[in-house]
Each structure stands twice: as C-alpha cells, then as structure tokens.
Structure 1
Amino acid sequence: HRALTRELPLATPGSARSDRTTPVNFTSRSGGKRRDGKAPVARSRTRKVARWVPKMRIAMGGMRKWLFNQSTMASYLNTNTQTTLSPPRPSWVDLTNFGLPSSMETSGYVPFLMAIILIASVMTVSLRKNKLSAFPVINASKNEYLMSGRAMLARGLKEFGGKPFRVNTGLGGGVIILDHSVMPEVRNDARFDSTKFLLQYWQAGIPGFEPYIALGTEILHNVIKWNLTPAGIAKLNKPLSDEANAALSDILTDNEEWHEVLLGDVIIRIVARVSSVIFLGPELCRNPDWLKITVNYTNKATNAAKVLRRWPVILYRTIHWFLTECREVRTMLIEARQIIAPILEKRRVEKAADPSLEYHDALDWYETAAKRMGVEYDPADQQLALSISAILTSNDLMSQSIMDLCKNPEMFEPLRNEIRSVLGDGQWKPTSLYNTKLLDSVLKETLRLKPVAAVGLGRRVMEDVRLKDGTVLPQDSGIAINAEKMWDPEIYKNPRAYDGYRFLRLREASEQGEKTSQLVSTSPEHLGFGLGIHACPGRFFGANTVKLVMCHLLLKYDIKLAENTNISPLEFGFSMLANPTTKVLVRRRKEEVNF
C-alpha cells in the first residue's frame, strides 16, 4: 500500500537511493559489458516494483470508481427502502492498521480486500507466465487456434520435432502440447487432473454451466461405477431395445419411400430418448420438454462458451449476465430443475410409505448414492452431466459412423449378416452385443479417423512437475498429448484410409489384440476414450447404446447420403465434431429378425 501511494521512495532509471536500493552485481555473457561498450547498470528490487506501479494505480483507480458507483447505487436503494444511517467508511490507514471496530459494515473491507486480491493475482499470473515462457507459442492469436487448431498441431509437430510447445487458446496460459513419448508419465499421475482441465475449458463456475462441474463430482463417478458396469448394462438391453424401436418409428417413421432427414438432428433425438429410459425412467424419457433440454443444452452451452471466450477472462463473471447465449443456458437449467423436482419429490413420498419400492433408473441410483455417501446433490445438474457425457459422444460417434458407411456402402450387408446371426432368435443375451465384432470394429475405426478432439489426455497440472527429460510443467498450466499417433503409418497401415475390418483383424490376430482392439478398450495408440485413470468412465454404456441402436437402424432402414451434402467434420479449436448439416435419405425396409 505504501509503495502504491508513493510513501516508499522508488528507484528510477538514472537515480538510485543508497538507503532504499540493493544493487545486484552480475556479469554478462559479453564479459561484463553491454553491447554499446558501457558498464552494466546495477538493477534493484525497487525498480522491479516500480514497473508494476503504473499498472496498479490504473487498476485500483478503476476499481475505486467501480466501487464508488456500486456504493452510490446501494445508498440509493437503501434510502428508498429504509432510513438508517450507515457508519462512515474506514480510511486506508484504518484498514492497513487493521484497527477495525466491531460495528463496521462488512462492505468497508471490500476495497482493501479487492486490492490485495488484485495484487496477488497479478503477481501470481506474472510468476506463472515466466515459467510458461520456456515453451514457445505457435500461434499469435486465439482466433487462429479456434479456426485451425488441428492444422496448428501438425505444424507444431513439424516445427518443434516432438519438443513441447504452447497453443494460445485464450484461456490462462494456453495449453502445452506434449509429445506422445511422455504418455506413460502422465496417464496415471494424480498430479495431472482431467476434471480441472475440463472445468476451465467449459467455464465452470459461471451460472448455467453447473452440469460441467457435476462431471467431476465423486457422486457421478460412483453412480456410473456402481450401476453402469458391463454386467449391469447387459441387463438393461431389453428396455433400451424397446425404446430404440419406438424412437426409430416415431422419428424416422415407417415410410417405405426415400425421404430426406437432417442426420445429426434425428440421431441425437433417438439417442436422447433411448438414454433417458435409463437415466430418468418412464416418467421423463418421452417428456418433450425434458428431451428438448437434453438435446439442446450441450449445443447451447458450447455456443455460450464460444461467445464468452471472446471476452477477457477477468470479465467472465460479470459479462455473462448480459450475454444472450449465457442467459439461454441459465434458463434451460432452471427449466430442467422445475421438471425433475416434482417427480423426485413424488418418489420420495412413495418410498417413505414403502421402503422396499425400487426404481431402476439413474434418478434412484443418485438417491441411493447420496445416502450411502452422506452428500447432497443437484438432480438437474447431475442428469444433464450424464446427458453431456453419454448423449453428446454417442450422437457424434453414431452420426459419423453412418456417414462413413454411406461412403463405403459395401459394408452394409456384412454388418446386417452379423446382426442377423447374433440376434437370430430375437432375444437379447448378455453376450449379444459383444458378439457383434464387425460392428464394434466399424465404430472403433470411425472413432480413430475422427475422434471428438485432436488431442488426448487433457490435464491440469496441480503442482510443478519435472518430467524425466527435464521439462518442468508449471502448476495450474494446461497440458495435452498430440493425438497424431492415431494416424501414424508406423502403427496403422494406410492410416488415413477407412478400413472397417481393421480392428476385427487385430482382435483375431492375437490374445493381446482381443483386449486392446475393442471399441471400449483404451491404449496409447487409440485415444478415442482417453487413457489411464481418467479414461471416460461412461464409455461402456455409451458404446452399448450406440451398438444397440445401430442394430435396429441397419436392419430396419436403408440409408444413403443426400446429393451434394457436406460431410466434412466441423472443427473448432481442438474439437472435431460430426457435421451437423449433413443430410441423408432413408426408407423403411423389412427386417429379417424381430427383436
């Protein structure tokens, strides 16, 4: 405070005070001389402080003005609601001496506390930026990252030859891109946190984005771990299949003539309905208001995040209140709570009357988990978190797989033959979907060629970490692994070409291939579902749902691409999403097996 108010004399270039300055002697690389031949100038700690003084004065001046405006408004409101006198505001001397009377208003602390927070934040950011300067930045602006993120990764790999480099994403210090070779060090190290990485990316902490915070909660992971195991999922196939059959009939219709549909729109509606049977039970799985929210929330949140990122990070918590896109997300979350609350309350009353009553859906799983863990939770946040993790990924994989099959129509009949052989008796067995190995291979190949992101193992560094090669990753920095190995010719033959049989051959070639080449398997060579302790926990349910719906779709409908439709993936930053504008032609066909 004294430094900022000029009570502490500061050294300036050309004038140093012996009583305030601590010279630092050093020898330059040129033998102690500057390039101009003059002796080096002694630097001082106070000169370092002096560099920040103008910035601090400007920032604090703006802060005081903002606080004055807030105080004026508060005084106006108080004057119109009550006629009490407020105690005088404390002086800066009072605050610096901490001689605060007990009757003082809490608001009196605000300028002092905000000044301290601002100074600490600036110094912390400065220190972190110094550590990040060891990593060269490949792009000057975040717009380049947003428009051509994947191309930048390829350029960085070529320019830096596997050495770490940084991508300016517009968030914090950006993301440090690491080479594939460090993956064994990162995959299971608890000092690298995937949840914190995603929370920063998805503006967690901003009202309306709470479901993204829920993605990292222990209760969500326990609900998945305790209920959506491979064995548990197999028991859900019958209700999932029944809803898939009804959803296809309602959305794609039973029209036997070719008719055009928007692929992304119909697939996400089908996946949302089928998933909601398990997430919310019969009361809500066909509720149009709820389905509208689950289908649109992720897209709305993604769009809101894009708009928010155009602003400086320091303004996020203020500016979001005035952005239409953020307001839409907040409104959807409020509506979701209004839909779920009465159903959950009704169930709680019924269970109180009959404790033996059970519901086989995620609403009940959360209630059980909350009691078991002794925690409280927001049902709407958690349900939308499930929708984000299951519906978005499943929709993208299924939409892109259909496009790939339409580009390779010779794959349709072999897939139908496999489904007919597995489900010939019309009965769902625990091993039914496991035995659709060609379908599994087709889906994994699509996920290899176009994952949802061009990087894998996104993590936030929780403390300074030194890698084996000597690289120091600063605390709070973001890191990711370049996913280029998924298209490496040394690993995959003709890596840029589509081969639906690729992973089926690998499964049949060896026992190890059987373990690593399934759709839900994770490996350093295929980062579609992540890797290590932070691999996607919901991948078993998501893969099961996609395969089940694909069985219905392939046997019951003919599909082909509409003329002149665009099938190129939509790239935004590191994201690679199935094109939402792709149109296909469909018609009902007579299925050979009724299931």
Structure 2
Amino acid sequence: MSTLSLSPQALALGAIFLATFLIPKLLQWRARMDKLNAIPTVGSSGLFSSYLSARRYKMHAREIIQEGYTKFPGQAFKVPLPDRWEVIVSGKQMMEDIKKASDLDLSFIEAVGETMQSDYTLGLPARVDTYQVEVVRTPLTRNLAARFDDLRDEIKAAFADEIPAKETEWMKVPMLYTVMKIVSRTSNRYFVGLPLCRDPDYINLNIEYTIDAFNGAKTLQRFPTVLKPSVLHDPSSTFAEIFASIVRQFLTDVPTCLKRATKHIEPLIKERLQKEVDFGSSDWPDKPNDLISWLLDEAKGERRKDIIYNIVSRVLLVNFAAIHTTSMTFTNALFYLAANPHLAQPLREEIESTVAEFGWTKAAMGKMWKLDSFLKETTRLSGLGGLTMSRMVLRDFTFSNGTVVPAGTIVSVASYGMHHDDALYEDPETLKPFRFSNKREMEGEGIKHQMVGIDPSFGLFGGGRHMCPGRFFAVNEIKALVGHILVTYDIKFEGDGGYPEPDWNGASLSPNGFAQVMFRKRSATPASTT
C-alpha cells in the first residue's frame, strides 16, 4: 500500500499560496467581522443561526427594524440577510454623518447596485455613467411648469378610460394595477409624448419592467454575494459577463422589455438624430421638449456610442423610478381617502378655490397646502418600506459616535421607526391629515414642512447630495392625480372597509395589491371641467 507523497516544490507552492492569497483573505475577513461583531445584532449572529434570522427578516422586517430602533436609539444595529449583513442606524447625528459623507466613503450608486442587483435587473450603462440623474434634476424638473397642460390633459384622458364611473351607480376598481396604468400614461405623456404614451404595449411593458426589476432583485438577494460576480467591478471577466447574461435571461425579463421598448423608442431616436444631421445642430425647429430630447442633449461625445441602447435603457430606468414611487404613494393616499370619506370635503374646497384662481397649473399645486400635508402624512404612515438613505461603505467609516462600519457593508436609516417615533411626531400612529399644513401656517414656517422639502424627520426622498432628484416631478404629479380624483369622483371602500394592510417583503413595502375602491362620478364642478 503506497502513501501519497508531495514534492518539496509542491509544498513550497502551497505555502506560497497560503501566504500570498488565502491567509491575507482570511485575516481581512476576520478584521471585517470583528468590526461588525462590535455592532449589536437584532436576531441571531451565529454562523448558521443567522440564516434562520435572515429568513425571519423576509416576513417580519418591520418588527425587527422597530425592535432595533427602540432598543438602540440614536445608535447602530445590524440584521442578517441571506447574502450579507446590513447595518441600520437612527438619530439625527448619524443621519447627518451619512448626508455629509463623501461618495468615496459611502456610495449611493453602489448601494442601489447591491439592493436592486442592478447589474442584472436594470442594466449596466446607466450605473456606469449616471447622466440620466442630471437630466431628471435639471431639464425634467425645470420644464414642469411649461408642460403641465400636457400632464393635466393626460390625467383627464387616462381616468376617463380607466375609471369610467357614472353618477348613478358605484363602480368597483382594483386599485394598484389601475393606478400603475394611469401613472404610466401620465408620466410618459411628459417623457415621450403622444401617441406613444397611450400605446397599450408600451404602457404594459413599463409596468412589467418595474415589477420584474423588483422581483428579480428579490430573487438574486437570496444568493450569497460570492456567487454573483460583478461585471462593473471586473469588466474583463468573461465569467462575470456570461453569468450576468444568464441571470438576465433566465431570472429576469429585462432582455424582453428592452426589445419591446426599443421597438417603440428607436424610431423616435433615429428621427431626432437625422434632424441633427439635416440642420447641422442639436437645436432644430419644433424639437420635442421631452425626456428623449433631454437625454440626447446630455449624450455627447463618447456617450453617443451605442446610442439607441443607451437612451432606451435610460428611458426605462426613469420610468421604473417614476412609476414605482408615484404609484405606491398615490395608491396609499387613495386608500386613506376611501377609509376616511370625511376628508374629501376640506381637500376639495382647497383644490376648487385654488384652481378657480390659478387653473390647473404647477403654481396651483404649490398653493395646495392641505393636499400637500395630506400626502406627506399618508406617506409618513405607510411609506415605501422600512429603510431609507442606503449607502455602500467603500472604506471603513467611523460615525460621530465612534461606531465603525467596515467596507463592503450596506448602511441604511430606519425610516419606519423614525416616522412612528412619538418623540418626533405627536400621536404618531394616528392619521392627522393637516399635521404639516398647520405647522406651515405658523409665522416663519410657510416654506417648511412641504413634502418635497428637506425634513430630517421625513425619509421618503432620502437626504444629502443624493436626495431624490425626481421628487418635484413626482409630488406635483401626485397632487394633480389626487386633485383630479377629489373633484371628479366620490370614493369609498365597500361596506365598512378600513385601510388595507400593505404587503411587506423584507424591508420593502407595497400597497395591498388586491384591495378594491368604489368610485362614483360627481356632478361637474368648475375645477373638474377645466
């Protein structure tokens, strides 16, 4: 019986491998875990028991986040996820630390890449070069007043098609999907114009893309990070690219959505590119004032490479952000209105008097303090999830209170706990629709407490340099949508239905997808007919 013997050369190579690769990696992992272990855990922190806690987090994230927020006020705690640890913080000072941090320390883009698995679900170009963000921040926002008539026109047409209620009887409407169709139409009247914004396939593909991106991210989050090589961080890796292609093809519907979107948008892009050639300028007569034009204006030089794919993918991405946030916020507001019909009258009075003076305009939206307060309050109570201001720690970060979070960790703010904190909000579990408008009536407070404003106690739009650039468009659109409903319909839940419980999936939240709302058309009023 022979024994296996190793040559001195093999032993030497093994020792070199251990010394140069494996041992440094183990030491690096150990140093990182030492820093994470210094942060208290909500749930189990054992090597295997943490996976059980991660499974519980999927169904009970709200309770877990609230437990950590209560146990560790103004501090950090961590929770186990299937593929990583997440550190959650609270308190004004820790939030300020995140807001002021350099992108070289705490990265918003990298956090989105991790939480949304964007290499696979949203595509790589818009993550590598985020010029669509500047388009949303500047031309998309600045043109809102000039294009408001288009938004108003599409809102009237979309509701007439999707909710053709009569004055003589109540109509039952499945709310969430109907809202998504209306929001898709309205947003795309602004983004791509007529007739494309009304094309059924184009409307549906934007909704499907939004839903599929979230579902794809949730699926991918179940796998450890080591199994998901990053194309962005290792673009030369053939394995990473092949893996990403397989994931996109079989775990998401992104390739199909891109093909469908390209079919609709490519002719518009080519037509505008030809106009630039014909007129020798990017500024030509009757140039459409929309998202496609704004993106093309921003895409100069090297950005013109593979221009069709780059513009189409960014139009889809902007739609994804607009449809998700607006639809969730709008649906929650309608649920609260249907559960509290007595709130309709004071809101209608404000809307009708304001529209009588200013018309359906962006300026009018800014005068509707009660409506703004109602929307901010319903969003405070429901929100879009349990966390906000997520950042990827790129190099070890030390908070003002001495907490050290190691590189490679996602850190977020416990927005749900903050929104339900009785130290920040009086009677926080109660809907007080005019909580914020009442504050604005105090001397010197007129421009404070707006939904779009910077409020350290309100986390819907994040904070700091990465505060949502599309919040002005979103809030004005939601006001116009809810305003139209209030002056056009009576709404209620069937029977004595109250606010339907939302659907939680991990720290993400979605309005109840099965809830239906009853609509009845009101007699025409001056505000509803203009």
TM more than 0.5: yes
Please report how far the alpha carbon of residue 240 of structure 1 lies from its aligned counterpart in structure 2 after TM superposition. Answer: 0.5
Whether the aligned pair in 2 keeps the contact of 1:240 and 1:274 (CA below 8 Å) is: yes
Equivalent of residue 290 in structure 2, options 361, 365, 384: 361
Aligned residues: 490
SS in 2 for 1:7: helix
Equivalent of residue 197 in structure 1, options 89, 111, 116: 111
Distance in 2, matches of 1:170 and 1:3, equals: 42
Partner of 1:133: 37
Partner of 1:235: 146
- Select between 346-355 and 298-307 the one with higher mean Cα deviation: 346-355
**Is 1:7 the counterpart of 2:7 in the alignment?**
no
Equivalent of residue 590 in structure 1, options 501, 518, 523: 523
**Is 1:465 the counterpart of 2:393 in the alignment?**
no
Pairwise mapping of residues 378-417 of structure 1 onto structure 2 (< 5 A)? Answer: 378-417=310-349
Q: 5+ unaligned residues in a row in structure 2: which ranges?
A: 1-6, 44-49, 230-242
SS in 1 for 2:119: coil
Whether the aligned pair in 1 keeps the contact of 2:322 and 2:474 (CA below 8 Å) is: yes
Distance in 2, matches of 1:3 and 1:248, equals: 80
Whether the aligned pair in 2 keeps the contact of 1:164 and 1:179 (CA below 8 Å) is: no
Pairwise mapping of residues 187-586 of structure 1 onto structure 2 (< 5 A)? Answer: 187-190=99-102, 191-206=105-120, 208-210=121-123, 214=126, 217-229=129-141, 231-256=142-167, 257-316=169-228, 318=243, 321=246, 326-354=251-279, 355=281, 356-357=284-285, 358-371=287-300, 376=305, 378-424=310-356, 427-483=359-415, 484-511=417-444, 513-563=445-495, 567-586=500-519
- Select between 356-365 and 321-330 the one with higher mean Cα deviation: 321-330
Measured at CA, do residues 488 and 176 of structure 1 come closer, stay the same or move farther in structure 2, by a change above 3 Å? closer
SS in 2 for 1:555: helix
SS in 2 for 1:515: coil
Partner of 1:145: 57
Distance in 2, matches of 1:365 and 1:449, equals: 36
Counterpart code for 2:257: M
Distance in 2, matches of 1:242 and 1:576, equals: 31
Deviations 1:510-567 (A, max 9, x none): 32x3233111112111111111111111000000111111121111111111346871
Q: 5+ unaligned residues in a row in structure 1: which ranges?
A: 11-45, 51-114
Please report how far the alpha carbon of residue 425 of structure 1 lies from its aligned counterpart in structure 2 after TM superposition. Answer: 5.9
SS in 2 for 1:234: coil
Please report how far the alpha carbon of residue 292 of structure 1 lies from its aligned counterpart in structure 2 after TM superposition. Answer: 0.7
Counterpart code for 1:233: L
Partner of 1:107: none
Counterpart code for 2:162: I
Distance in 2, matches of 1:291 and 1:130, equals: 49
Please report how far the alpha carbon of residue 123 of structure 1 lies from its aligned counterpart in structure 2 after TM superposition. Answer: 6.3
Distance in 2, matches of 1:352 and 1:319, equals: 36
> Please, what TM-score do these two structures have when normalized by structure 2?
0.85
Deviations 1:232-291 (A, max 9, x none): 311211010001110010111143321211100111110110000111122421121111
SS in 2 for 1:516: coil
Whether the aligned pair in 2 keeps the contact of 1:304 and 1:329 (CA below 8 Å) is: no
Whether the aligned pair in 2 keeps the contact of 1:173 and 1:477 (CA below 8 Å) is: yes
Measured at CA, do residues 119 and 349 of structure 1 come closer, stay the same or move farther in structure 2, by a change above 3 Å? farther
Whether the aligned pair in 1 keeps the contact of 2:165 and 2:519 (CA below 8 Å) is: no
Distance in 2, matches of 1:479 and 1:539, equals: 23
Distance in 2, matches of 1:398 and 1:173, equals: 32
Distance in 1, matches of 2:191 and 2:29, equals: 42
Counterpart code for 1:334: K
Identity %: 27
- Select between 196-205 and 175-184 the one with higher mean Cα deviation: 175-184
Distance in 2, matches of 1:534 and 1:161, equals: 25
Distance in 2, matches of 1:122 and 1:375, equals: 44
Pairwise mapping of residues 54-93 of structure 1 onto structure 2 (< 5 A)? Answer: none
SS in 1 for 2:118: coil
- Select between 167-176 and 141-150 the one with higher mean Cα deviation: 167-176
Please report how far the alpha carbon of residue 159 of structure 1 lies from its aligned counterpart in structure 2 after TM superposition. Answer: 3.6
Task: Find the structure with the greater CA-based Rg.
Answer: 1
Measured at CA, do residues 125 and 173 of structure 1 come closer, stay the same or move farther in structure 2, by a change above 3 Å? farther
4+ residue runs over 6 A deviation? 118-123, 322-325
> Please, what TM-score do these two structures have when normalized by structure 1?
0.76
Whether the aligned pair in 2 keeps the contact of 1:194 and 1:459 (CA below 8 Å) is: yes
Counterpart code for 1:552: H
Aligned CA RMSD, in angstroms, stands at 2.9
SS in 2 for 1:250: helix
Counterpart code for 2:390: G
Measured at CA, do residues 502 and 333 of structure 1 come closer, stay the same or move farther in structure 2, by a change above 3 Å? same
Measured at CA, do residues 589 and 577 of structure 1 come closer, stay the same or move farther in structure 2, by a change above 3 Å? same
SS in 2 for 1:509: coil
Deviations 1:477-503 (A, max 9, x none): 111122222222222211110011101
Whether the aligned pair in 2 keeps the contact of 1:321 and 1:327 (CA below 8 Å) is: no
Equivalent of residue 78 in structure 2, options 131, 151, 166: 166
SS in 1 for 2:265: helix
SS in 2 for 1:343: helix
Measured at CA, do residues 590 and 162 of structure 1 come closer, stay the same or move farther in structure 2, by a change above 3 Å? same
Whether the aligned pair in 2 keeps the contact of 1:145 and 1:573 (CA below 8 Å) is: yes
Deviations 1:303-344 (A, max 9, x none): 122222233333346498378862423322232223221221
Deviations 1:77-112 (A, max 9, x none): xxxxxxxxxxxxxxxxxxxxxxxxxxxxxxxxxxxx
**Is 1:154 the counterpart of 2:79 in the alignment?**
no
Measured at CA, do residues 125 and 362 of structure 1 come closer, stay the same or move farther in structure 2, by a change above 3 Å? farther
Distance in 1, matches of 2:135 and 2:70, equals: 43
Deviations 1:13-57 (A, max 9, x none): xxxxxxxxxxxxxxxxxxxxxxxxxxxxxxxxx9x959xxxxxxx
Counterpart code for 2:363: T
Measured at CA, do residues 526 and 293 of structure 1 come closer, stay the same or move farther in structure 2, by a change above 3 Å? same
Deviations 1:333-392 (A, max 9, x none): 232223221221122223432442311110011111112895655112111111122111
Distance in 1, matches of 2:9 and 2:79, equals: 35
Whether the aligned pair in 1 keeps the contact of 2:122 and 2:317 (CA below 8 Å) is: no
Please report how far the alpha carbon of residue 396 of structure 1 lies from its aligned counterpart in structure 2 after TM superposition. Answer: 0.6
